[in-house]
Amino acid sequence: MMNKISTTDTINSLLTLFSRYGLCEEIVSDNATQFTSEEFMDFCAQHGIRHIRTTPAHPQSNGQAERYVDTVKSALKKAINERGKVSECLQKFLFDYRSTPHATTNMTPAELFLKRKLRTILDLIRPAASETHEKNRKRYKINFDKKTKKRFFKEGENVLVRDLRVFQTGTKWTPGTLISKSRSRIWSVKIGNNIWRRHENQILNRHWSSDDDVTATSSEEKQTAEDSKLSNTQKQQCDQQTPILRRSTRKQYED
């Protein structure tokens, strides 16, 4: 609602709408002074908007807008007599109007404009949609968990954490100590005098060797090492079992 209908106020209201929904292609208006001013004409030209003005003293030229104004006025008169506040009645009417299917399109104005239905009180008596959504969510979670390995950490544990300075230091993993768990999978890790925040997917278990070298003990690296060792063992066994072919030293006599 506008308290003033000057050209400046009209342009500001249009800019508010454009910031939410983008520029329109066409504006149809009557011949009021705020629409016939040079300032408004320049505004439309700068934004690439085609401005169409109706014939003077002929409101039927803009019949859709005039009919909608009559509908709003009629609804407000009935609502004000029952409730009182104009602003509340107007918002209630707009909500009901935009969520009601139109007789011509069989769709609500909100669906045509926003490409989705507005959630109303009637949705509370339709549990089927929410139940379907919950079933799909659980199914997606099960499929995701099949490909995700659980990680177990505890406070004070020595770990390896992903070093985001890899391009500077050349090291992907840096040793640290877990301090606390801030969220479901977010840990605070002490690295020297600094505190890093890392997700569990960026943390590996570790143990210290006798040479004080850090060795990652993640299941992925263990599996890779075992596969490599097994491959080398099989290769050695094949070399031992395969007989070595030697060329005969016996002389061959011609017939």
Tokens of 49: 């908007």
Instruction: Identify the weakest region by mean pLDDT among 61-75, 101-115, 212-226.
Output: 212-226
Taking CA atoms, 198 is separated from 7, 177, 204, 208, 244, in Å, by: 55, 12, 11, 21, 56
How confident is the model at residue 252, as a pLDDT?
57
**Quick one: average pLDDT of 230-240?**
57
How confident is the model at residue 51, as a pLDDT?
92
238 pLDDT tier (thresholds 50, 70, 90)? low
Asked if pLDDT for residue 209 goes beyond 50, the answer is: no
The number of beta carbons lying within 10 Å of the beta carbon of residue 87 is 8
**pTM, to two decimals:** 0.44
How confident is the model at residue 218, as a pLDDT?
45
How confident is the model at residue 221, as a pLDDT?
47
CB neighbour class for 122 (10 Å; exposed up to 12, middle 13-18, buried from 19): exposed
How confident is the model at residue 8, as a pLDDT?
92
Mean pLDDT of the chain: 77
Asked if pLDDT for residue 24 goes beyond 70, the answer is: yes
CB 34, CB 6: distance < 8 Å = yes
Instruction: Give the residue among 122, 105, 124 at the shortest CA–CA distance from 113.
Output: 105
How confident is the model at residue 243, as a pLDDT?
56
pLDDT: which is higher, 174 or 240 = 174
How confident is the model at residue 211, as a pLDDT?
37
Per-domain residue ranges for the chain? 158-221
